Amino acid sequence: MNLILIGPRGVGKSKVSRSLSKLLQFPVVSTDSVAVYEEGGLSIPEIVNKHGWKHFRELEYQILKKLEYAHNLILDCGGGILFDLAEDETEIISQRKLHLLRKIGKIILLERDFDELVGKVIGDKTRPDLSNKKAYSEILTKRLPLYREAAHHICQADGKSKEEIAKEIKKLLLL
Protein backbone atom coordinates (compact mmCIF):
# COMPACT_ATOMS: atom_id res chain seq x y z
CA MET A 1 0.00 0.00 0.00
CA ASN A 2 1.17 3.52 -0.81
CA LEU A 3 0.39 6.57 1.32
CA ILE A 4 -0.07 9.95 -0.34
CA LEU A 5 0.18 13.14 1.69
CA ILE A 6 -1.60 16.17 0.27
CA GLY A 7 -2.42 19.60 1.61
CA PRO A 8 -1.52 23.24 1.28
CA ARG A 9 1.98 24.60 1.19
CA GLY A 10 3.51 24.75 4.67
CA VAL A 11 1.22 22.17 6.29
CA GLY A 12 4.16 19.85 7.06
CA LYS A 13 3.82 17.13 4.43
CA SER A 14 7.57 16.70 3.99
CA LYS A 15 8.35 16.48 7.70
CA VAL A 16 5.45 14.14 8.42
CA SER A 17 6.36 11.93 5.45
CA ARG A 18 9.90 11.51 6.82
CA SER A 19 8.54 10.56 10.27
CA LEU A 20 6.07 8.18 8.66
CA SER A 21 8.95 6.67 6.66
CA LYS A 22 10.87 5.90 9.86
CA LEU A 23 7.76 4.41 11.44
CA LEU A 24 6.69 2.23 8.50
CA GLN A 25 10.06 1.64 6.83
CA PHE A 26 8.64 2.90 3.50
CA PRO A 27 10.74 5.18 1.28
CA VAL A 28 9.55 8.74 0.62
CA VAL A 29 9.17 10.21 -2.85
CA SER A 30 8.67 13.97 -3.04
CA THR A 31 6.96 15.16 -6.22
CA ASP A 32 8.69 18.53 -5.85
CA SER A 33 12.14 16.92 -5.48
CA VAL A 34 11.54 14.72 -8.51
CA ALA A 35 10.41 17.79 -10.49
CA VAL A 36 13.64 19.59 -9.58
CA TYR A 37 15.64 16.53 -10.64
CA GLU A 38 13.70 16.13 -13.90
CA GLU A 39 14.38 19.79 -14.75
CA GLY A 40 18.14 19.48 -14.31
CA GLY A 41 18.31 20.95 -10.81
CA LEU A 42 16.26 24.08 -11.44
CA SER A 43 14.35 25.14 -8.33
CA ILE A 44 10.57 25.17 -8.51
CA PRO A 45 10.45 28.99 -8.77
CA GLU A 46 13.00 28.75 -11.60
CA ILE A 47 10.97 26.06 -13.38
CA VAL A 48 7.81 28.18 -13.12
CA ASN A 49 9.61 31.38 -14.21
CA LYS A 50 11.25 29.66 -17.17
CA HIS A 51 8.42 27.41 -18.41
CA GLY A 52 5.22 28.55 -16.66
CA TRP A 53 2.66 26.86 -14.42
CA LYS A 54 1.13 24.72 -17.19
CA HIS A 55 4.51 23.08 -17.77
CA PHE A 56 4.96 22.48 -14.04
CA ARG A 57 1.49 20.91 -13.71
CA GLU A 58 2.24 18.66 -16.69
CA LEU A 59 5.55 17.71 -15.09
CA GLU A 60 3.65 16.67 -11.93
CA TYR A 61 1.34 14.51 -14.04
CA GLN A 62 4.30 12.79 -15.72
CA ILE A 63 5.84 12.10 -12.30
CA LEU A 64 2.60 10.49 -11.10
CA LYS A 65 2.50 8.36 -14.27
CA LYS A 66 5.97 7.03 -13.40
CA LEU A 67 4.75 6.09 -9.90
CA GLU A 68 1.52 4.45 -11.06
CA TYR A 69 2.67 0.92 -10.22
CA ALA A 70 4.91 1.64 -7.23
CA HIS A 71 4.42 -0.24 -3.96
CA ASN A 72 5.04 0.57 -0.31
CA LEU A 73 6.07 4.17 -0.59
CA ILE A 74 5.06 7.47 0.89
CA LEU A 75 4.34 10.15 -1.68
CA ASP A 76 4.93 13.70 -0.44
CA CYS A 77 2.98 15.87 -2.89
CA GLY A 78 3.42 19.53 -3.67
CA GLY A 79 0.53 21.76 -2.58
CA GLY A 80 -0.87 22.08 -6.10
CA ILE A 81 -0.76 18.41 -7.06
CA LEU A 82 -4.56 18.22 -7.43
CA PHE A 83 -4.72 21.09 -9.89
CA ASP A 84 -4.20 21.97 -13.54
CA LEU A 85 -4.73 25.20 -15.45
CA ALA A 86 -7.67 25.84 -17.75
CA GLU A 87 -7.21 27.56 -21.10
CA ASP A 88 -7.79 30.94 -19.42
CA GLU A 89 -5.04 30.11 -16.86
CA THR A 90 -7.48 29.67 -13.95
CA GLU A 91 -6.81 26.80 -11.59
CA ILE A 92 -9.10 23.77 -11.92
CA ILE A 93 -9.22 20.35 -10.30
CA SER A 94 -7.10 17.89 -12.26
CA GLN A 95 -9.22 14.81 -12.86
CA ARG A 96 -6.29 13.08 -14.56
CA LYS A 97 -3.97 13.58 -11.57
CA LEU A 98 -6.70 12.76 -9.05
CA HIS A 99 -7.41 9.51 -10.92
CA LEU A 100 -3.72 8.56 -10.77
CA LEU A 101 -3.37 9.52 -7.11
CA ARG A 102 -6.33 7.32 -6.17
CA LYS A 103 -4.86 4.48 -8.23
CA ILE A 104 -1.47 4.89 -6.54
CA GLY A 105 -2.68 4.76 -2.93
CA LYS A 106 -4.53 6.16 0.07
CA ILE A 107 -4.73 9.96 0.06
CA ILE A 108 -4.27 11.66 3.43
CA LEU A 109 -4.97 15.37 3.76
CA LEU A 110 -2.99 17.26 6.38
CA GLU A 111 -4.76 20.35 7.69
CA ARG A 112 -3.40 23.16 9.83
CA ASP A 113 -4.56 26.56 11.11
CA PHE A 114 -4.49 29.26 8.41
CA ASP A 115 -2.33 31.76 10.33
CA GLU A 116 0.23 29.06 11.05
CA LEU A 117 0.34 28.16 7.34
CA VAL A 118 0.84 31.78 6.30
CA GLY A 119 3.71 32.15 8.77
CA LYS A 120 5.48 29.19 7.22
CA VAL A 121 5.20 30.23 3.56
CA ILE A 122 5.60 34.00 3.55
CA GLY A 123 9.04 34.85 2.19
CA ASP A 124 10.06 31.23 1.49
CA LYS A 125 12.45 31.59 -1.45
CA THR A 126 12.44 27.84 -2.22
CA ARG A 127 8.87 28.07 -3.52
CA PRO A 128 7.05 30.34 -5.96
CA ASP A 129 6.18 33.65 -4.28
CA LEU A 130 3.12 33.76 -2.04
CA SER A 131 4.12 36.80 -0.02
CA ASN A 132 0.66 38.33 -0.30
CA LYS A 133 -1.46 37.02 2.60
CA LYS A 134 -4.70 37.87 0.78
CA ALA A 135 -3.66 35.93 -2.33
CA TYR A 136 -2.70 32.88 -0.23
CA SER A 137 -6.03 33.12 1.60
CA GLU A 138 -7.87 33.09 -1.73
CA ILE A 139 -5.90 30.06 -2.91
CA LEU A 140 -6.65 28.18 0.32
CA THR A 141 -10.34 29.08 0.20
CA LYS A 142 -10.62 27.62 -3.30
CA ARG A 143 -8.46 24.58 -2.70
CA LEU A 144 -9.53 23.37 0.75
CA PRO A 145 -12.90 21.85 -0.29
CA LEU A 146 -11.17 20.11 -3.20
CA TYR A 147 -8.43 18.71 -0.94
CA ARG A 148 -11.13 17.39 1.40
CA GLU A 149 -13.11 15.85 -1.45
CA ALA A 150 -10.01 14.08 -2.81
CA ALA A 151 -8.82 12.67 0.52
CA HIS A 152 -9.57 9.23 1.85
CA HIS A 153 -8.63 10.50 5.33
CA ILE A 154 -8.12 13.92 6.94
CA CYS A 155 -5.55 14.46 9.67
CA GLN A 156 -5.58 17.66 11.73
CA ALA A 157 -1.97 18.73 12.37
CA ASP A 158 -2.50 21.66 14.77
CA GLY A 159 -0.56 21.35 18.00
CA LYS A 160 0.94 17.97 17.11
CA SER A 161 4.51 16.95 16.44
CA LYS A 162 5.41 15.28 13.17
CA GLU A 163 5.89 12.02 15.08
CA GLU A 164 2.42 12.27 16.65
CA ILE A 165 0.88 12.90 13.24
CA ALA A 166 2.76 9.93 11.75
CA LYS A 167 1.50 7.64 14.54
CA GLU A 168 -2.03 8.94 14.03
CA ILE A 169 -1.85 8.17 10.30
CA LYS A 170 -0.52 4.68 11.00
CA LYS A 171 -3.35 4.03 13.46
CA LEU A 172 -5.91 5.54 11.08
CA LEU A 173 -4.85 3.17 8.32
CA LEU A 174 -4.43 0.19 10.67
CA LEU A 175 -0.81 -0.35 9.60
Residues annotated as binding site?
10-15, 32, 57, 79, 127, 143
Cα torsion angle, 122, 127, 132, 134, sign? negative
Residue list, annotated binding site for ATP? 10-15, 127
Strand-pairing partners, residue 156, are: 111
Residue ranges for the known binding site for substrate are 32, 57, 79, 143
Contacts by residues 20-27 (CB-CB < 8 Å, ≥ 24 positions apart): 20/74, 20/166, 20/169, 20/170, 21/74, 22/166, 23/163, 23/166, 23/167, 23/170, 24/74, 24/170, 24/175, 26/2, 26/72, 26/73, 26/74, 27/72, 27/73, 27/74
Binding residues for Mg(2+): 14
